[in-house]
Amino acid sequence: MKRGSFNSRLGFILAASGSAVGLGNIWKFPFEVSNGGGAAFLLMYLFFCFILCFPVIVSEIAIGRNTKKNAIGAFNEMGKRKWNFIGKMGVLCGVLILSFYTIVAGWVLGYVFEMVTGNFSIADNFGNYVNNTTSVLLYAVLFMFLTALIVSRGIEKGIEKAAKILMPSLIFIILSLIVYALTLPNSIDGIIFYLVPDFSQINLTVAGNALGQAFFSLSLGMGMLITYGSYIDDKNNIISSATLITLTDVGIAFLSGLIIFPFVFSSGIETEGGPGLIFQVFPQIFENLGGTTGIIVGSTFFILLSFAAITSTVSLLEVPVSYLVDEYKIERKFSVWIVALVILLIGIPSAYSQGKSELFTNFITYFGADKPIDFMQFIIDVSNDTLLPFGGFLITIYVAYVWKKNNLSDEISKGNPYYKGSFMEKYINFSVTFICPLILGSIFLLTFLNKFFGI
């Protein structure tokens, strides 16, 4: 069986940025910012992305390209079978993320239809909306169906082609919405809140969240970039690709803040922020815009979210699929539909966890916490905030101490003849050896103890 590959360097960059840019940037980032002291959170997030995550991005791509294998097979191919647990953890983590992500994407898709028909009052009934599990699950199935359709067509004809259409459209929609948002009255107050840092808000929880957010947003630490990296050729310059992917992801997260905060501040609606921000507050904002304008801006916004989400779900599905195709020689189409079905089943408890089922709504109480959290939040805590940074930590340990730095340098310099001896090489090597293991390891440990054990 022939393994697929990206047809162009741009295709790879768009697909990888498409994976990175998702609900994490537009839905999650703004409320993390507002909970974490506005620009103070933003600065910390930028620091994590460029200083701590960048070397991990480069390492993942290098491992993938070197072995031309999936997230688990890559370690076997290098003769380090013992270490393939990093890949196994990544595949598991991807499955967990996709299981709840599809449900949230289902909410988003449903909202497109609500906005198109001008049903803004949906915002007041968000609780009912998410607990109408039949319709939520139908939309989730539809979303997964579209995702699976793209992945089943393979790398070049499916994933790359979709990214080439969806990413430019997404950037166009974002820019149009920013221009519009900045013309609204009082939008400047939103910008001030967003861009003037309040450093007193920074504490360990906020730092842990910013790190989790950086990993989640860059789709890092679970083998997505090992998988996508396995589909590129030796001419590809890993450093510049990694730079472009990081800049696109961070740029779009930043730009979506320039839409969200002006919208919220100009509407004058009091909000606590939180996960409901976009679903509960935004339709009211669109309604205030009045009739057709509201319908157009509202539908455009949720179409934007759907586009962002689908390039991410595609990559989340590709990780386990590529594992089955490579390692068990199962046909791509068949693997896609089986994995999609299994993940939908795993997602059902998340759909029921927003009030519908008592068991899943008050799923677990951590040590030292006074309130239980729901199943979806539990999956988010385990996958995004714990497994991803931990995966990133292990990958740097693996690269520096098992695979060895000179092999990493050899791989990177294939598409980048000036790499050896450059400042970048010194920086990457120093980071994977010391900075990343140390800082990622300690923030991971502290967040883990703090989150689950209240220490």
Residues that bind ligand PHE (CB under 6 A): 19-20, 22-25, 97, 216-217, 219, 222, 224, 312, 315-316
> How far, in whole angstroms, is CA 260 from its chain's centroid?
18
The rounded distance, in Å, linking the Cα atoms of 302 and 300 is: 6
How many Cβ atoms from other residues are within 10 Å of residue 237's Cβ? 18
Closest CA to 111 of 295, 293, 341: 295
Q: What three-state secondary structure class fits 373?
A: strand
Residue owning tokens 């991971």: 444
Q: What three-state secondary structure class fits 442?
A: helix
Q: Which is nearer to ligand PHE, 25 or 267 (CB)?
A: 25
Q: Which is nearer to ligand PHE, 22 or 437 (CB)?
A: 22
Indicate left, alpha or beta for 355 from its phi (over 0: left) and psi (-120 to 50: alpha). left
Tell me the closest approach of the beta carbon of residue 57 to ligand PHE, in angstroms: 12
- CB of 255 within 8 A of CB of 30? no
Q: Which is nearer to ligand PHE, 289 or 316 (CB)?
A: 316
Which one-letter DSSP state was computed for residue 384?
Answer: I
Q: Which is nearer to ligand PHE, 96 or 325 (CB)?
A: 96
Tell me the closest approach of the beta carbon of residue 453 to ligand PHE, in angstroms: 25
Q: Which is nearer to ligand PHE, 15 or 39 (CB)?
A: 15
Tell me the closest approach of the beta carbon of residue 94 to ligand PHE, in angstroms: 6
Q: Which is nearer to ligand PHE, 24 or 298 (CB)?
A: 24
Tell me the closest approach of the beta carbon of residue 312 to ligand PHE, in angstroms: 4
Q: What three-state secondary structure class fits 364?
A: strand
What are the angstrom distances between the C-alpha of 103 and each of 200, 300, 333, 350, 400?
35, 20, 23, 7, 38
Residue owning tokens 């701590």: 52
Q: 73, exposed or middle or buried, with CB in 10 Å at 0-12, 13-18, 19+? A: buried
The rounded distance, in Å, linking the Cα atoms of 395 and 223 is: 9
Closest CA to 311 of 410, 435, 192, 219: 219
Q: Which is nearer to ligand PHE, 95 or 137 (CB)?
A: 95
Tell me the closest approach of the beta carbon of residue 50 to ligand PHE, in angstroms: 16
Tell me the closest approach of the beta carbon of residue 353 to ligand PHE, in angstroms: 19
The rounded distance, in Å, linking the Cα atoms of 261 and 72 is: 41
User: Token digits for 347?
Assistant: 């997602």
User: Token digits for 416?
Assistant: 């980048």
The rounded distance, in Å, linking the Cα atoms of 256 and 356 is: 31
Tell me the closest approach of the beta carbon of residue 454 to ligand PHE, in angstroms: 27
Tell me the closest approach of the beta carbon of residue 249 to ligand PHE, in angstroms: 7
Q: Which is nearer to ligand PHE, 208 or 212 (CB)?
A: 212
Tell me the closest approach of the beta carbon of residue 71 to ligand PHE, in angstroms: 11
Tell me the closest approach of the beta carbon of residue 22 to ligand PHE, in angstroms: 2
Which residues, other chains included, contact 311 with Cβ-Cβ below 8 Å and sequence gap of 6+? 15, 18, 19, 21, 22, 162, 163, 166, 167
Q: Which is nearer to ligand PHE, 242 or 400 (CB)?
A: 242
